[in-house]
Amino acid sequence: MKKRVLITGAAGFLGSHLCDRFIREGFQVAAMDNLITGSKTNIEHLFQHPDFEFFHHDISKFVHLPGELHYIMHFASPASPIDYLKIPIQTLKVGSLGTHNLLGLALNKKARMLIASTSEVYGDPLVHPQNEDYWGNVNPVGPRGVYDEAKRFQEAMTMAYHTYHQVETRIARIFNTYGPRMRLDDGRALPAFMSQALRGEDITVFGDGSQTRSFCFVDDLVEGLFRLLMSDYASPVNIGNPSEITIKDFAEEIIALTGTDQKIVYMPLPTDDPKQRQPDITRARSILGWEPKVARQEGLKITYNYFKTLPEFNKN
């Protein structure tokens, strides 16, 4: 008997890679998305697969899914700063009401549920690198608060269902991730820099570029998530790549990779933009036996080759 997994946010960047992985592992995949930030093109190659079903649904509303269900991967949410600035209420609702609906479904179906939490629960961190015992430094009423607090509520609600209803739950705190199928216009640093290079535009670094991030290639992340789901560990686990870089150096790496002759231009730093971010992955190493394998140089090349194939850059 094949196991069945519900993947929410299935048409998004991470969701679509999870669909591929679970199909490859021999699961039946129920994919759900309301397509406000996701795109069907990310999963259209799976539509003819006998083990793949797609449900166009907003999980902030009651989720009805007939049939057996063994696992839920909850990846539905706007996830880039410009998206959650544009749709702040939906961001809050999917993290809170959506998570509650899915936990109810998990309880009802006796399914194990993994939630996509985030390094944003640490806010602009005062501890470096960030380990899972750090409680964070979040501004609830700032522009990022709608995402950060929704995700913090999501963790609290998930832990409550685990404690009071004995639902099997897993909490992944995902750090910056990149790879093919990122949305070109999602406003994040990597798609912004690569699309600027491809269009011959200036490379926009916010602030003085001294803020840091640590970028994980999507295949590494998916491996970590899969291992976490299959583990018996209910407390939060950081999944990310500890290789940290300033945004200015990151922009320069992309300039070198793409061979663009464009220059960096400096723009104002967005409000509450975290100054530094690096996952402490000691827990993931010891509990999951996992660590990232793909070096940034290699991952960036794969991602750039994907962006180059997009219709926007192949008009003639």
Which residues are known to be catalytic?
A: 147
- Give whichever of 252 and 273 is closer to ligand UDP, judged by the CB atom: 273
- Give whichever of 16 and 196 is closer to ligand UDP, judged by the CB atom: 196
Q: Is 107 helix (H, G, I), strand (E, B) or coil?
A: helix
> How many CA atoms lie within 13 Å of 300's alpha carbon, on the beta-carbon side?
18
- Give whichever of 51 and 202 is closer to ligand UDP, judged by the CB atom: 202
The structure tokens 């299935």 sit at 10
Q: How far is residue 198's CA from residue 176's CA, in Å, rounded to a whole number?
A: 22
CB of 144: closest distance to ligand UDP in angstroms?
Answer: 8
CB of 205: closest distance to ligand UDP in angstroms?
Answer: 4
Dihedral angle of Cα 250, 252, 255, 259, to the nearest 10 degrees: -130
- 173 is written with which tokens? 């705190």
Binding site for ligand UDP (CB under 6 A): 80-81, 176, 188-189, 192, 204-206, 211, 213, 247, 270, 273
CB of 251: closest distance to ligand UDP in angstroms?
Answer: 7
CB of 80: closest distance to ligand UDP in angstroms?
Answer: 6
- 97 is written with which tokens? 């009401």
30: which strand partners? 6, 53
Structural contact between residues 100 and 156, judged by C-beta atoms closer than 8 angstroms: no
Closest CB to ligand UDP: residue number:
188
- Give whichever of 53 and 273 is closer to ligand UDP, judged by the CB atom: 273
